[in-house]
Chain A
Amino acid sequence: MPEKGIVNTKQFIWLLYIIISSFAAMQIPGMLIMQAGRDAWLSVLCAWFLDVMLALVYAYMGIRFPGENFVQYSITILGKYLGRMIGILFPLFFLLVSTIVLKGLSQIVSTVFLPTTPFNVILVSSYFVSALISRKGIEVIARVTEVLGPLFFISVMVLCFLVLPDFAIDRLKPQFDEGVRQFIVGAPILLTTFGVCIIMAMYIPLCNRPENGFLAKFSAVSLGALVVGLLTALAVGIFGIEDAQYMYSPGLELAKMINFSNYLERIEIVWLLILVGSTIVASSSLFWAFGQGFAQIFGLKTYRPLIYPGALLSLVLCVASFPRSAQQTHFYHYTFPIIAFFVETGLELFLFGAALILGKRGTA
């Protein structure tokens, strides 16, 4: 097996949480408000429930195929050739997610914090740092998340607490004024984002207690749902849906408005730390999963030489596919949920069904 590192359950939780937090710090709350309006916070609850259900399948497969991740058990279930064809889709999906995440990060940093710095400098730097961390291995990434994850969670909670005086609950009413369709359609957008935590299937074989896979995912998604739910509810309750739905990062706008008697101000820098930290670490996890998955598909002894080429491939895709920020947002809103739904839910349920029908089990 190319990766020999071990993670514990606590690190497992923060590894997953940091991925959700990177999306929450960017455009997902705004997209959710655009889709579901005042009912966005209900979409969060719906997505949380569906994702927990999906986590049961991933956790079961992790136990049914001990010591194997989904790339490996797709080969065990479907055989050498078809299994590899299906299995390669997972690492490619992680590469796609890293492309979207790093483009989103660079866009916010360039627009809000470093407007005079050339965009490509920010983009290439983000890729370089992510790849550098990724090449150090899963244990290093896990230790980083163990420090940053709780820090980011507490920071978001404090930010939410500080904007609470401006919150008007009347702006969240009436619920269901355009029927239930809106919040039901909003749930898949968030589900596909939470669903990136299918990366859990790459961590389960490396966890010192693989049976805790479900617990880790449940805890991480619950924390993530709390953060996204609070941000969407506060953004709607403070700015109203008319303004909140067009915000690129509602959390950033919330942080910008904190001002206590000219004493406590420019708090958005805390948001920048959360955004940069979580996105870089999340991308490094995704590059690691890409390298690890590819190494297993091709039967390589090590995944490390694939990290920088993978990051370069993602950078080229980013430059070629999203020359403007609107294109990334457009892709993330309309195309990504379809791809993600296919990979996160469709492929895994297909593997789950195939394993049951063919009676395949892991041998370790």
Chain B
Amino acid sequence: MTGLLFFLALAIGLAEGIPLAKQNLRKELVVMSSLLGIATLLAAGNYLGFSSPLMLLERVLEPIGKAVFK
């Protein structure tokens, strides 16, 4: 799955990035690339066994949820 995610990131980067570069929409290109970069980093982190941000959030908030809900 990690390989597929990297491939998708590359494909989206090329499909969206080239038209943006041609139109000289730099800000859009930077934000789009940043989102892809974060996605790629998270995928790599997951492959290497790091916790995802949602899992970290769950560790913090779950005890509160368990205290309130059955």
Determine the residue in chain A with the shortest Cβ distance to B66: A334
Q: Known contacts being A309-B36, A310-B35, A335-B61, is A316 close to B42, with CB within 8 Å?
A: yes
Q: Interface range on chain B: under 10, 10 to 19, 20 to 34, or 35 or more?
A: 35 or more
A359 at the interface (CB under 8 A from B): no
Q: Known contacts being A300-B28, A312-B36, A320-B46, is A96 close to B54, with CB within 8 Å?
A: yes
Which single member of B28, B31, B53, B62 contacts A317 (CB below 8 Å)?
B53
Which single member of B15, B16, B46, B65 contacts A333 (CB below 8 Å)?
B65
Do the beta carbons of B61 and A313 come within 8 Å of each other?
no
Looking at chain A's contact residues, is the secondary structure mostly helix, strand, loop, or mixed?
A: helix
Which single member of B5, B28, B45, B69 contacts A312 (CB below 8 Å)?
B5
Which single member of A99, A189, A309 contacts B12 (CB below 8 Å)?
A309
Looking at chain B's contact residues, is the secondary structure mostly helix, strand, loop, or mixed?
A: helix
Cα distance A182–B69 in the bound complex, in angstroms: 9
Q: Which residues of A contact B12 (CB under 8 A)?
A: 308-309, 312
Q: How far is the CB of B31 from chain A (nearest CB, A)?
A: 5
Do the beta carbons of A298 and B31 come within 8 Å of each other?
yes
Do the beta carbons of A319 and B69 come within 8 Å of each other?
no
Cα distance A317–B43 in the bound complex, in angstroms: 8
Q: Known contacts being A124-B4, A294-B31, is A305 close to B39, with CB within 8 Å?
A: no
Determine the residue in chain B with the shortest Cβ distance to A92: B53
Determine the residue in chain A with the shortest Cβ distance to B55: A321
A-B contact pairs, 12 of them (CB 8 A): A182-B70, A305-B32, A309-B39, A316-B42, A316-B46, A320-B43, A320-B54, A321-B53, A322-B54, A334-B58, A339-B57, A339-B61
- Report A's interface with B, CB cutoff 8 A: 34-35, 96, 99, 120, 124, 182, 185, 188-189, 294-295, 298-302, 305-306, 308-310, 312-313, 315-317, 319-322, 330-331, 333-335, 337-339
